[in-house]
């Protein structure tokens, strides 16, 4: 324990000796950790948006005008028994016309054109909600299968809107994937910059303590006793940068939560503090890992002389 305390004390002394160079390392590492935190928050917003869209996604089966209602009822009963289906709602041709009129009540030319037709041009439709978004494709495939032909539904179906909705989800998934890849690339670049700067800072600390380390090795100090203070110094950079990052995002998320909630779809301030332990653990672990890795790279060459 005495040796451990001495290593810790020496690490903090090395940090103080670095002066402005140490603070420059903390600044660069803070920028890196801020990007990591921002990516965590951005990912939360993107996935929240995706979930919102997924909740609005359904499959609607539009039937031909004057389709046999018995066949529609048979198809509805079969779909309700499918394990993938959570709910099936039926809208008759008359109800579809009423909904259409109510929706376009302010559009006089459309209503006038509808009156001039003299008959209902809209067919009935079924609205299907699946238990999972991934199960919509199997429902759509069923409607093209031989089972649908047996039920006689293939001849009465006008169209199924699944593939239009699938296109929206796939595009949003691509956007999220692209944003994650870009964020990962930026993070890697900043991590490399942080490692280089911290590496040079630790290397400078080694040269400052060169005579002291030489004496320690002559009197038989272990490698851990020699290496430990610099590892502690690297970890200190990570801890301080994490603390600064946490303080920076406190007012940032508060502002976002107060002003940008309608745009983002979620309250960033509430999300930040409800997940603060997870975010803090990720950022702290990242900071300490970068600091210790930089220290190991810097002292490896010296200790191998």
Same domain assignment for residues 118 and 84: yes
pLDDT at 244: 92
Same domain assignment for residues 110 and 136: yes
Residue after which a domain boundary falls, among 155, 183, 215: 155
Confirm whether 200 is domain-assigned.
Answer: yes
Q: CA 285 → CA 103, 200, 239, 288, 292, distances in Å? A: 54, 21, 9, 5, 10
User: What is the number of domains present in the chain?
Assistant: 2
Same domain assignment for residues 91 and 175: no
Contacts 24+ apart (CB under 8 A), 40-43: 40/279, 40/282, 41/249, 41/253, 41/268, 41/271, 41/272, 42/179, 42/183, 43/176, 43/179, 43/180, 43/183
Same domain assignment for residues 77 and 132: yes
Same domain assignment for residues 44 and 178: yes
Confirm whether 58 is domain-assigned.
Answer: no
CA distance 225 to 236: 17
CA distance 78 to 75: 5
Q: Give Cα 239 to chain centroid, integer Å.
A: 25
Confirm whether 242 is domain-assigned.
Answer: yes
Residue after which a domain boundary falls, among 100, 132, 155: 155
pLDDT at 46: 77
Residue ranges in the chain modelled with pLDDT below 70: 1, 3-4, 11, 14, 18, 53-56, 145-155, 163-165, 169, 172-173, 176, 202, 205-206, 208-223, 225-226, 301-305
User: 137-150 pLDDT, tens per residue?
Assistant: 788 777 776 555 54
Selection from 41, 16, 33 nearest residue 247 by Cα:
33
Same domain assignment for residues 132 and 88: yes
pLDDT at 305: 47
CATH of the domain at 72: 3.30.70
Q: Give Cα 251 to chain centroid, integer Å.
A: 21
Same domain assignment for residues 293 and 241: yes
Q: Would the CA dihedral through 149, 152, 155, 161 be positive or negative?
A: negative
Contacts of 57 (CB under 8 A, 6+ apart): 133, 136, 165, 168, 169
pLDDT at 3: 67
Strand partners, 90: 126
Residue after which a domain boundary falls, among 131, 155, 179: 155
Confirm whether 162 is domain-assigned.
Answer: no
Same domain assignment for residues 200 and 293: yes
Range of the domain at 221: 2-53+169-303
Same domain assignment for residues 143 and 230: no
Structure token digits, residue 165: 């909705």
Selection from 226, 197, 210 nearest residue 30 by Cα:
197
């Amino acid at each position: 324990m005495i040796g451990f305390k001495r290593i810790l004390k020496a690490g903090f002394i090395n940090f103080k000796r670095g002066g402005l160079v140490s603070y420059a390392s903390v600044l660069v590492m803070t920028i890196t950790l801020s990007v990591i935190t921002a990516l965590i928050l951005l990912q939360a917003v993107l996935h929240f948006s995706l979930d919102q869209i997924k909740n609005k996604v359904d499959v609607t089966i539009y039937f031909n005008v004057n389709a046999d209602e018995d066949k529609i009822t048979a198809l509805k009963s079969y779909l309700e028994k499918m394990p993938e289906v959570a709910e099936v709602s039926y809208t008759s041709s008359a109800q579809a016309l009423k909904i259409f009129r109510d929706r376009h009540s302010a559009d006089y030319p459309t209503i006038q054109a509808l009156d001039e037709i003299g008959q209902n041009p809209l067919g009935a439709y079924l609205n299907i909600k699946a238990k999972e978004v991934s199960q919509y494709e199997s429902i759509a495939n069923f409607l093209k299968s031989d089972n649908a032909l047996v039920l006689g539904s293939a001849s009465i179906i006008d169209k199924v809107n699944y593939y239009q909705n699938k296109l929206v989800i796939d595009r949003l998934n691509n956007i999220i994937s692209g944003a994650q890849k870009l964020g990962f690339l930026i993070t890697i670049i900043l991590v490399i910059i942080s490692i280089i700067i911290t590496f040079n800072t630790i290397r400078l600390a080694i040269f400052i303590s060169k005579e002291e380390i030489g004496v320690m090795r002559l009197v038989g100090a272990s490698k851990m006793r020699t290496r430990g203070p610099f590892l502690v110094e690297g970890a200190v950079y990570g801890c301080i940068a994490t603390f600064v990052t946490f303080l920076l995002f406190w007012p940032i998320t508060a502002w976002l939560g107060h002003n940008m909630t309608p745009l983002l779809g979620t309250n960033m301030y509430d999300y930040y503090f409800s997940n603060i332990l997870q975010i803090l653990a990720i950022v702290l672990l990242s900071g300490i890992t970068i600091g210790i890795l930089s220290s190991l790279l810097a002292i490896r060459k010296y200790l191998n002389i």
